[in-house]
Amino acid sequence: MVMRKVLNSLIVATFLILPASHIAAQEVQKIVAIVNEEIISGFDVIQRINMTIFAAGLPSDSKTRQQLVPSTINTLIDERLKMQEAKRNNVEGSPEEINSAIEKMEKRFKIRPGFLEQALAAKKISIDAVLDQITVSIAWDKLVRKKILPRINITEAEVKSVQDKMRANKGKNEYLTSEIFLPVSTPNEEPQVRKFIQGLREQLKKGARFSRMATQFSKGATAAKGGTVGWRMLEDMDPAVAQAIAVTKKGSATAPIRTTDGYYVVAIRNVRKILSKQASDSQMELSQIAIPVADTEKRGLKESHIKLVNSLSKFVDGCSYLPTLFNQISNGQSGKMGKVSLSSLPDKYRVLVANLKSGEASVPYLDKDTYRIFIVCDRQDASMQSDSEDAIRRSIGNKRIGTRVERYLKDLRREAVIESR
């Protein structure tokens, strides 16, 4: 990469301190960078920061904006390189593809169909800036499919090697992870990158969604998928990453991890045993019938009450008539429980429903002074991890594509003439 750095302290200070609404028009039109003779303006940077804050749910304050400036400029530089390369290869997004992306964006952010431009304007975001981002994403994806996918070759020997490894490690833990990755290319970048990823970690601790943060900030190949890495064993990870994951609870994210190529924050989404089907991963739509016993005991009707409860348990063979039954019982405890993970239920309830099929009811359970009957209205069991040839080919292929995409972009950066001002 040929790069000449000419720092303009006035405009940088303006970006770092003031919100977009306070920046004068003459400032936003100043040149921030030139990428192969194509300009990135102050307005471009501000617009992307506004979009990032909106999409990731970040606070719109000067501290956040200060943290976002360097990564935003780097992202815009990469997007210019991607779009230039797509044009050289006569690749572009069609109007249909762009409209489809807009519809998905409206659904994602719960915006009424056709009202994206108005919703963005309320956040001081230009629709053109968003369309530019969408256009680059579509074109780059099509370019990757055109130039990289046809060159991915996976041999029978590679597939067999993975199959043998999976079978040899059957029963060991495997982790479903997502990542945010920020590279450190030179020693001078270290403090800035470290500070930025620490800021991202703080936002995650405050409740920011990991997938959105990864899409907006991660520089890894997984960014387009919300940072999703997939299932891996600890021994297949970078040692520093594996060490951090081993001491992090499922559902949590690690502190920033320094590796040889940069910084990672990794979220542990799930853990499973290799080639094992785990009932605890099942998702169930549950309802319950709750019948208090206190009143019947006072009236000396306990035995007849138990017979009634047992009869109800045997009588239930589906959920279609449960609403009517709930209305008849009408005690405030009976009703739908909604969709729950089997692993999230208390042990005393989990053992009752673990082996039930859709439409089946549990045996009555005396919970203090109330009999409870649980009905499984729907059940979706976790799919068993596959060691089939097709599944393994997809897994190897996805990893190989990611590696080659990173290499492709690095080559574009190295060959580019980039002037940062």
Question: Is position 245 within any domain?
Answer: yes
Average pLDDT in the 238-245 region?
96
Q: Which candidate, 380, 382, 385, 351, places its Cα nearest to that of 172?
A: 385
Question: Is position 192 within any domain?
Answer: yes
Q: What is the pTM of this model?
A: 0.64
Q: Which residue has the higher pLDDT, 329 or 347?
A: 347
pLDDT in tens, 65-74: 888 888 889 8
Question: Is position 319 within any domain?
Answer: yes
Sheet order of strands, 257-258 included: 228-232, 173-183, 262-273, 257-258
CB contact set of 52 (below 8 Å; sequence gap of 6+): 58, 68, 72, 216, 217
> Cα(88)–Cα(23) distance, rounded to whole angstroms?
36
**Is 63 in the same domain as 131?**
yes
pLDDT of 278 over the 80 cut: no
Q: Which residues pair with 41 in a beta bridge?
A: 31
Q: Which residues pair with 69 in a beta bridge?
A: none
Question: What pLDDT does 309 receive?
Answer: 62
**83-97, 158-172, 255-269: least confidently modelled range:** 158-172
**Is 191 in the same domain as 69?**
no
**Is 250 in the same domain as 342?**
no
> Quick one: pLDDT band at residue 106, thresholds 50, 70, 90?
very high
Question: Is position 401 within any domain?
Answer: no
pLDDT of 324 over the 90 cut: no
Beta strands in 156-215 (DSSP E): 173-183
The Cα angle at residue 343 between residues 342 and 346, in degrees rounded to 5: 90
pLDDT in tens, 250-259: 889 999 999 9
Sheet order of strands, 417-420 included: 2-5, 417-420, 31-35, 38-41
Question: Is position 143 within any domain?
Answer: yes
**Is 70 in the same domain as 193?**
no
Average pLDDT in the 29-58 region?
90
> Quick one: pLDDT band at residue 340, thresholds 50, 70, 90?
confident
Specify the amino acid at residue 145. R
pLDDT of 21 over the 90 cut: no
The last residue of one of the domains, among 233, 251, 273, is: 273
The last residue of one of the domains, among 114, 147, 180, is: 147
**187-196, 302-311, 409-418: least confidently modelled range:** 302-311
**Is 225 in the same domain as 141?**
no
For residue 184, the domain's CATH number is 3.10.50.40
Q: 65-69, 312-316, 321-325, 339-343: which has the highest mean pLDDT?
A: 65-69
> Cα(266)–Cα(253) distance, rounded to whole angstroms?
5
Question: What pLDDT does 17 receive?
Answer: 44
Average pLDDT in the 145-161 region?
93
pLDDT in tens, 47-94: 999 998 888 888 888 888 888 888 889 889 999 999 999 999 999 999
Dihedral of CA atoms 414, 415, 417, 419 in degrees, nearest 10, equals -10
Average pLDDT in the 195-223 region?
88
- Are the beta carbons of 222 and 266 closer than 8 angstroms? no
Question: Is position 362 within any domain?
Answer: yes
Q: What is the mean pLDDT of the chain?
A: 83
- Other CB atoms closer than 10 Å to residue 98's CB: what's the count? 16
Segments forming the whole domain that contains residue 25: 2-147
> Quick one: pLDDT band at residue 281, thresholds 50, 70, 90?
low
CB contact set of 319 (below 8 Å; sequence gap of 6+): 287, 359, 375, 377
Q: 17-26, 60-69, 133-142, 280-289: which has the highest mean pLDDT?
A: 133-142
Percent of the chain with pLDDT over 70: 83
Q: What is the tally of structural domains in the chain?
A: 3
Q: Which candidate, 218, 193, 212, 183, places its Cα nearest to that of 53?
A: 212
Instruction: Tell how strand 2-5 and strand 417-420 pair up.
Output: parallel
**Is 115 in the same domain as 135?**
yes
For residue 162, which phi and psi values (nearest 5 degrees)?
Answer: -65, -40
Q: Which residue has the higher pLDDT, 263 or 170?
A: 263
Question: What pLDDT does 39 receive?
Answer: 94
Question: What pLDDT does 26 receive?
Answer: 54
**Is 244 in the same domain as 286?**
no
Q: What is the sign, positive or negative, of the torsion defined by CA atoms of 260, 407, 254, 17?
A: positive
**Is 136 in the same domain as 8?**
yes
- Output the six-digit token pair for 229: 């890495």
- Are the beta carbons of 409 and 391 closer than 8 angstroms? no
> Quick one: pLDDT band at residue 416, thresholds 50, 70, 90?
very high
Question: What pLDDT does 35 receive?
Answer: 96
The residue assigned the tokens 């520093």 is: 240
> Cα(349)–Cα(353) distance, rounded to whole angstroms?
7
Question: Is position 330 within any domain?
Answer: yes
**Is 265 in the same domain as 310?**
no
> Cα(360)–Cα(377) distance, rounded to whole angstroms?
8
- Other CB atoms closer than 10 Å to residue 348's CB: what's the count? 10
> Cα(236)–Cα(73) distance, rounded to whole angstroms?
33
- Cα→Cα distances 261→107, 184, 350, Å: 36, 6, 44
Question: Is position 87 within any domain?
Answer: yes
Beta strands in 189-282 (DSSP E): 228-232, 257-258, 262-273
- Cα→Cα distances 188→185, 322, 327, Å: 8, 66, 69
Question: What pLDDT does 318 receive?
Answer: 66
Helix axes 190-205, 210-217, angle to 10 degrees: 160
For residue 125, the domain's CATH number is 1.10.4030.10
**Is 284 in the same domain as 249?**
no
> Quick one: pLDDT band at residue 7, thresholds 50, 70, 90?
very low
> Quick one: pLDDT band at residue 370, thresholds 50, 70, 90?
confident
> Quick one: pLDDT band at residue 13, thresholds 50, 70, 90?
very low
- Helix H or strand E encompassing 296: helix 294-298
Q: 59-73, 131-145, 181-195, 396-410: which has the highest mean pLDDT?
A: 131-145
**Is 250 in the same domain as 317?**
no
> Quick one: pLDDT band at residue 28, thresholds 50, 70, 90?
low
CB contact set of 43 (below 8 Å; sequence gap of 6+): 28, 29
- Helix H or strand E encompassing 375: strand 370-380
**Is 243 in the same domain as 291?**
no
The last residue of one of the domains, among 147, 162, 187, is: 147
